[in-house]
């Protein structure tokens, strides 16, 4: 298987993340007030592939041009919505046991195809989605990019807000290995119930949600560079990966994200009852695993993408 100083108290809203990061960059302490937006933003509906979960752009009115500009706030709103999608996709996958034959190339023979069932499902689904223009979007990255068909419909005119180097950054091979060999065994039960097709489809949903979230690092990096080019420029010109990683790392924000996704897994993973007795700590997926997913893989890989992008931002 596969000295005394006035410490600013930031109310934990998404807008405050920008100020929080700027203050941390100066090496100054912060005091975060607990707020529902940080601990439990649960009202957002999970959307896997919709306008509401897409990155937002604001028109550059100052220059009068049609160039669209990224905002850190709009990106954070999108990242929060993507958390919902990831949590729900994991819950859906957890309905099935491991079903290892879906990943064994010799267990299920598919006429005309050499590979496992999950490889077949992902590759064939991506081919169909390529025809309707999914991968024309800067936010989407195929796991099998070779020989994808061209769109058969007129593609949407996506704003070109990223440096051209963005197109060459795709770490889906790393995400694939992480998902199947590290994450999946943590949250699904051992066993085989024969539902190989639905299992592979659920894996695809998880893979695409994780890929989209991690590759969103390109947008985060672009917005942060535009916000503080004087901070990032010297490290980029020196090709200093460690310096860039230090600039991109805000431990207090990362801890907030981990707490938030864990709480979401608790809320989304409960069986809703009318007697308000709850499930006594029984969840469809272990919330600590979702927090671990973000802490060990999602956020570190997102920062890896940011560094890869920034290293070429001044090319």
Closest CA to 34 of 7, 5, 6, 9: 9
Angle in degrees, CA 175, 177, 180, rounded to 5: 105
Judge whether 95 and 202 are in contact, CB under 8 Å.
Answer: yes
Q: Are strands 9-11 and 31-33 parallel, antiparallel or unpaired?
A: parallel
Residues 6+ apart with CB under 8 A from 112: none
- d(CA 73, CA 94) in angstroms, rounded, equals 32
Distance of CA 3 to the CA centre of its chain: 40
CA-based nearest residue to 99, from 82, 81, 121: 121
Give backbone dihedrals phi and psi of 109, rounded to 5 degrees, phi first: -80, 130
pLDDT by position in tens, the chain (length 315): 554 333 343 334 444 444 445 544 555 444 333 333 333 332 332 333 333 334 444 444 333 333 345 788 899 999 999 999 999 999 999 999 999 999 999 888 899 999 999 999 999 999 999 999 999 999 999 999 998 999 999 988 888 899 999 999 999 999 999 999 999 999 999 999 999 999 999 999 999 999 999 999 999 999 999 999 999 999 999 999 999 999 999 999 999 999 999 999 999 999 888 876 655 678 999 999 999 999 999 999 999 999 999 999 999
Cα–Cα distance, 289 to 286 (Å, whole number): 6
Closest CA to 55 of 170, 207, 158, 130: 158
pTM for the model: 0.80
With tokens 């309707």, the residue in question is: 132
């Amino acid at each position: 298987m596969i000295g005394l100083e006035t410490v600013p108290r930031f109310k934990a809203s998404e807008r405050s993340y920008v100020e929080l990061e700027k203050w941390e960059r100066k090496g100054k302490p912060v005091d975060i007030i607990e707020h529902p937006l940080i601990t439990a933003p649960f009202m957002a509906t999970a959307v896997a592939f919709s306008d509401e979960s897409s990155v937002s752009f604001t028109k550059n009115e100052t220059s009068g041009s049609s160039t669209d500009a990224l905002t850190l706030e709009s990106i954070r709103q999108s990242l929060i919505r993507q958390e919902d999608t990831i949590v729900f996709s994991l819950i859906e996958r957890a309905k099935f046991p491991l079903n290892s034959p879906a990943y064994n190339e010799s267990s299920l023979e598919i006429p005309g195809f050499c590979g496992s069932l999950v490889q077949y499902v992902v590759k064939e689904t991506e081919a169909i989605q390529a025809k309707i223009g999914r991968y024309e979007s800067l936010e989407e990255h195929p796991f099998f990019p070779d020989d994808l068909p061209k769109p058969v419909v007129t593609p949407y005119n996506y704003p070109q807000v990223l440096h051209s180097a963005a197109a060459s950054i795709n770490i889906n091979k790393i995400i694939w290995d992480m998902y199947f060999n590290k994450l999946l065994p943590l949250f699904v039960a051992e066993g085989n119930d024969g539902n190989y097709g639905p299992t592979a489809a659920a894996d695809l949903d998880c893979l695409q949600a994780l890929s989209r979230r991690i590759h969103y690092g390109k947008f985060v990096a672009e917005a942060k560079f535009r916000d503080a080019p004087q901070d990032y420029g010297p490290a980029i010109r020196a090709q200093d990966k460690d310096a860039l990683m230090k600039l991109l790392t805000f431990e207090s924000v990362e801890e907030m994200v981990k707490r938030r996704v864990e709480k979401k897994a608790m809320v989304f993973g409960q069986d809703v009852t009318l007697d308000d007795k709850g499930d006594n700590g029984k969840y469809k997926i272990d919330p600590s695993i979702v927090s671990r997913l973000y802490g060990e893989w999602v956020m570190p890989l997102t920062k890896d993408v940011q560094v890869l992008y920034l290293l070429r931002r001044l090319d």
